Amino acid sequence: MKCAKIESLIYLYNELDEREKLYVDVHKDGCASCRSLFVQRGQQHIWIREVGAMPVLAASPPRIKRNIMQAIEANKENSFTEIINIVTMYWLRASLAIASILIAGLFFAQRSADYSRTVLNSTNSVSNGIRLNTPQFLKAHLKRRESANQISFYDCLKQSDSEFLKNLKAN
Amino acid sequence: MHSPTTPEVIKAAKAGSVKAFETIVDDHQVFAYRVAFRLIGDTQEAEDIVQESFISLWKNLDRYRADLKLTTWLYRIIVNKCLDYFKSTTTKQNKNKVALQFAVALADNNNPEKEFESNELLKVIHDASKLLTPKQRAVFVLRDLEGLEVSEVCEILSISAGNLKSNLYYARLAMSEKLKSFNEHETSYL
Ligand SMILES: [Zn+2]
């Protein structure tokens, strides 16, 4: 049983710590079988190192190097193009974002102007018992738009309630 | 053995210098090819793996940490690519057809007996390697043929010392069984 354990340690002799090596050494000094395996393994280790020192089947270092460097140059060019693409893409994104914000801003500015006018008109109309989106309401509204070329947009907005209601009732 | 690349060269290559990287290729390509060839046993495949490994090294140089040796990192890339090669289904089908060779014996006209012995030794090790799993072969190549330290082999393969010892034990046991016949042949000459 002890020999079996020692044998497995002999295969890993170079990886053992000093205490384990001593344990193997003490045993093999008194055991011919383990000593024989130890000597045999020592010889085999030398042969394996001999093989390790032999050159491998010829390759072509210049060809390997050329292929590597070509691939790297190509990769570098690709990386440069990639950076340009990213920069261009970000510029494009930024421009689109700014344009979107401007359009949204214009939309809301216009909408708020329209809203204040509509609220003014509709409040007046509702308070005067006229329902919205009825032919009566729209007619008055259109009439007011027709006269818009005579007065400024600002004046139109300022048009007083009474004036609007006068138009409304006249129709 | 390969000559170590200076930290300045590595730094320049990290900064994107192709010239500096060329120096790294010069310093390491011989050992890189030798390891790939010993693991794969096929010149063309080994060449492809070496090329892919260096390209991968170039692409990931910015992630390189100075506390790890560049050779260790390169070994790791190569060994992983070789292990992936063994895992691929097409390779599994052709695995037995691959003529595994660890080295070539140099022609020695002055000592034909020595040349014969070297060829015999290579043949025995070649036959024994067929019995090893890819991991056992990797451990055997790195530790016994390349002569790397245990800690470095563990780092390359990302395994514990215990795992390394167990793989190394089975690899050496298989080698030893085959080499016994070589032992007998050798002693018969004495
Ligand atoms: Zn014993």
Query: Per-residue pLDDT tens for A134-156?
Result: 777 677 767 766 665 555 556 65
> Is the pLDDT confidence value at B75 over 90?
yes
Same domain, B78 and B161: no
Q: Mark which of B68, B99, B130 sits at the end of a domain.
A: B99
Nearest-by-Cβ selection for A67 from B51, B105, B146: B51
Q: Mark which of B83, B99, B115 sits at the end of a domain.
A: B99
Same domain, B136 and B179: yes
Displacement of CA A87 from its chain's centroid (Å): 15
Question: What does the pLDDT read at residue A135?
Answer: 75
For the segment A53-72, the average pLDDT, to the nearest whole number, is 84
Q: Find the closest chain B residue to A37 by CA distance.
A: B176
Q: What spacing in Å lies between the alpha carbon of A26 and ligand 1's midpoint?
A: 10
Of B19, B179, B148, residue with least CA distance to B74: B148
Same domain, B143 and B60: no
CATH number at residue B71: 1.10.1740.10
Q: How far is B22 from chain A (nearest CA, A)?
A: 7
End-to-end Cα distance, chain A:
120
Structure letter (DSSP) for residue B132? S
CB atoms within 10 A of CB B98: 14
0.85 surpassed by complex ipTM = no
Backbone angles phi and psi of B15, in degrees to 5: -75, -5
Same domain, B178 and B114: yes
pTM for this model (two decimals): 0.69
Q: pLDDT tens for residues B36-63? A: 999 988 888 999 999 999 999 999 998 8
CATH number at residue B188: 1.10.10.10
- A64 chain-B contacts, CB cut-off 8 A: 29, 33, 47, 50-51
Half-sphere exposure of B170 (CA within 13 A, CB side): 15
By residue range, what is the domain housing residue B189?
Answer: 101-190
3-state SS, A117-132, equals HHHHHHHHHHHCCCCC
